[in-house]
Amino acid sequence: MNLVSTVLACLRENEMTAPGDDVTVAFSGGADSTALLAVLRALRQELGITLRAAHFHHGLRGEEADRDEAFCRSLCAQWEIPLTVGRGDAAAFAAQTGKSLETAARELRYRFLEQTAPGKIATAHNLDDNAETLLLHLLRGTGPRGLGGIPPTRGRLIRPLLCVRHGAVLAYLEENGIPHVEDSSNAGDDCLRNRIRHRVVPLLREENPRFDEAAGRTMRLIRAEDHYLATLAASAAERCRVPGGYAVPALLELDPVLRRRVLCAALEELGQENPSERRVSELEDLLRSRNPSASRVLPGGVRICRSYDRLLLHPAAPADSIPPCPLKVPGTTVLPGGGGTISCFVTKSLDSCQKNLTIFAVKCDMITKRGWMARGRRPGDRLTLAGGTKTVKALMIDRKIPVSRRGRLPVLLLGDEVVAVFGLGLNPAFCAAPGDEALLFQYEASADAGK
């Protein structure tokens, strides 16, 4: 089976795309992302998708990074694929946040992709990458979620190459005469992933030449079992819920595995991303505490309290939120409190407008007596997207939007109805079709909105 057929089978098996989807390839110019762009270009008619690309310049590697950007621009122009290019300063962001350079670069890149892509985001992770990820998680210590490696889909992210080896990618490019660029930093051993790739994986392949495939099968099994346990834990959590938290006796009756999952999910709902075993253990201690009024304060101002037979969850005080503000339609509105601006205008050339998560094209017949308004999110806000209806809070957690930014993303309302949230998406029922006359809402954050 050739690479195109293999990727097509992977796309269909994991239901990564549907006809009408807009897919943005995270395009670095390297072998994997170039092959991914080429394969999706070959399949776009069969899949019925709109294809585009996005390239992020991290402000690292000097002239080599400039070369990568130029290559991406040239190839996308040759293949007539729309390309969006973004730039950042990963080194400065790492120094500012105290994160590793690799983590800072990744965070900036994904933030750019989330803001740029109007639909799904395709990344070029392959089978080799996933085996390395499994080993990284084992070294650091992890649970079933980490042992499941990189999932084929997560939210808007899809990974069509996850079923193929890097060697198959290189062979495909060579057979078809498709050029690519090489990132010289991949050759060094200054980061842990590179050391695993260059030193550990070759030893494992000596013992089993098909180590990557074996690791892939293991991760698929673990992901399936993890999903099943997550379903059981969600049902258990609902049985234990009381206003403001959970019933302590009901939690203590749960199997310890399910109880840990319920407590971990509770922490994630409070904005504690990837809660550590230590955090979950602190909640376990509260459940068994002889002090009926014991409490814990977690990072970010989250407070967990034991109140006799209840475990009460107190979210951190919300970050400054944008006050309600009527919008000029058409016109430009300066949001109060330094919330940025929202511009609205009518366009008859929707096809020429670049749409992303800061620009929404709404059916023009939505100009009604109900006024357009923007504000920060409120508890209970719900937004309908292509995948269904969720609370805005849950969507922001899914997209890993930092708690500090959640109140600063404008919610777009028509009357009392939430139509869209900038940074999350637009309700498909309000979306203008290509060629339609449309209301174009464009949000521009203030200089300090993301801080």
Give pLDDT tens digits for 110-166.
888 888 888 899 999 999 999 999 999 998 888 888 899 999 998 889 999 999 999
| Tokens at 44, concatenated | 């776009």
d(C-alpha 404, C-alpha 119), whole Å: 25
**What does the chain come to in residues?**
451
- Please, which pLDDT band fits residue 449 given cuts at 50, 70 and 90? very low
Question: Per-residue pLDDT for 356 more than 70?
Answer: no
pLDDT of residue 353: 47
**Does 410 sit behind a cis peptide bond, omega within 30 degrees of 0 on the bond before it?**
no
Look-up of token digits 């008859």: 348
d(C-alpha 432, C-alpha 420), whole Å: 13
Greatest distance between any 2 Cα atoms in the chain: 71
Least Cα distance to 163 among 39, 261, 46, 285 occurs for 39
For 436, phi and psi rounded to 5 degrees? Answer: -75, 155
Q: What stretches of 348-423 adopt beta strand conformation (E)?
A: 359-363, 372-375, 382-385, 388-391, 411-414, 417-421
Least Cα distance to 220 among 146, 318, 151, 160 occurs for 151
Least Cα distance to 107 among 127, 135, 130, 88 occurs for 88
pLDDT of residue 368: 56
| Tokens at 202, concatenated | 């070759």
DSSP secondary structure of 194-213? HHIIIIIHHHHHHH-TTHHH
What's the whole-number mean pLDDT along residues 386-414? 82
d(C-alpha 88, C-alpha 105), whole Å: 8
pLDDT of residue 342: 92
CA-to-CA dists, residue 388 to 37, 108, 155, 324, angstroms: 28, 28, 12, 26
Sheet containing 425-426: order of strands: 325-326, 372-375, 411-414, 417-421, 425-426
CA atoms within 13 A on the CB side of 44: 18
Q: Where are the alpha helices (DSSP H) in 98-210?
A: 101-116, 127-140, 144-147, 166-175, 192-195, 201-207
d(C-alpha 166, C-alpha 384), whole Å: 38
| Tokens at 81, concatenated | 């694929």
Beta bridge partners of 385: 388
pLDDT of residue 102: 82
d(C-alpha 274, C-alpha 1), whole Å: 38
Least Cα distance to 161 among 122, 124, 213 occurs for 124
d(C-alpha 368, C-alpha 366), whole Å: 6
Which residues have CB under 8 Å from 366's CB, separation 6+? 414, 430, 439
Packing angle between helix 31-47 and helix 3-13, nearest 10 degrees?
70
Domain ranges of the chain: 3-214, 243-314, 325-444
Read off the pTM.
0.66
Beta bridge partners of 382: 391
Question: Per-residue pLDDT for 30 more than 90?
Answer: yes
Residue percentage of the chain with pLDDT more than 90: 44
- Please, which pLDDT band fits residue 300 given cuts at 50, 70 and 90? low
Residue percentage of the chain with pLDDT more than 70: 92
Of residues 366 and 246, which shows the higher confidence score?
A: 246
Look-up of token digits 């992977």: 10
Look-up of token digits 């309290």: 305
- Please, which pLDDT band fits residue 193 given cuts at 50, 70 and 90? confident
Pair 280, 263: CB distance under 8 Å: yes
Sign, CA dihedral 39-43-21-7, equals: negative
pLDDT of residue 340: 85
d(C-alpha 186, C-alpha 193), whole Å: 9
pLDDT of residue 451: 41
d(C-alpha 303, C-alpha 299), whole Å: 9
- Please, which pLDDT band fits residue 1 given cuts at 50, 70 and 90? low
pLDDT of residue 167: 93
Question: In CATH terms, is domain 243-314 a member of 3.30.465.60?
Answer: yes
pLDDT of residue 371: 82
In this structure, of 8-22, 74-88, 89-103, 346-360, the range with the lowest mean pLDDT score is: 346-360
pLDDT of residue 366: 56
Query: What is the number of other CB atoms lying within 10 angstroms of the CB of residue 163?
Result: 21
| Tokens at 287, concatenated | 């459940």
Look-up of token digits 């094209």: 361
The CATH architecture of the domain made up of 3-214 is 3-Layer(aba) Sandwich (3.40)
Pair 366, 123: CB distance under 8 Å: no
Which residues have CB under 8 Å from 100's CB, separation 6+? 94
What's the whole-number mean pLDDT along residues 97-106? 81
pLDDT digits (tens, 9 = 90+) for 249-297: 999 999 999 999 999 888 887 767 677 788 888 888 888 888 888 888 8
Pairing of strands 417-421, 295-298: unpaired
pLDDT digits (tens, 9 = 90+) for 310-343: 988 877 655 567 888 889 888 889 888 777 899 8
What's the whole-number mean pLDDT along residues 301-315? 82
Pair 304, 314: CB distance under 8 Å: yes
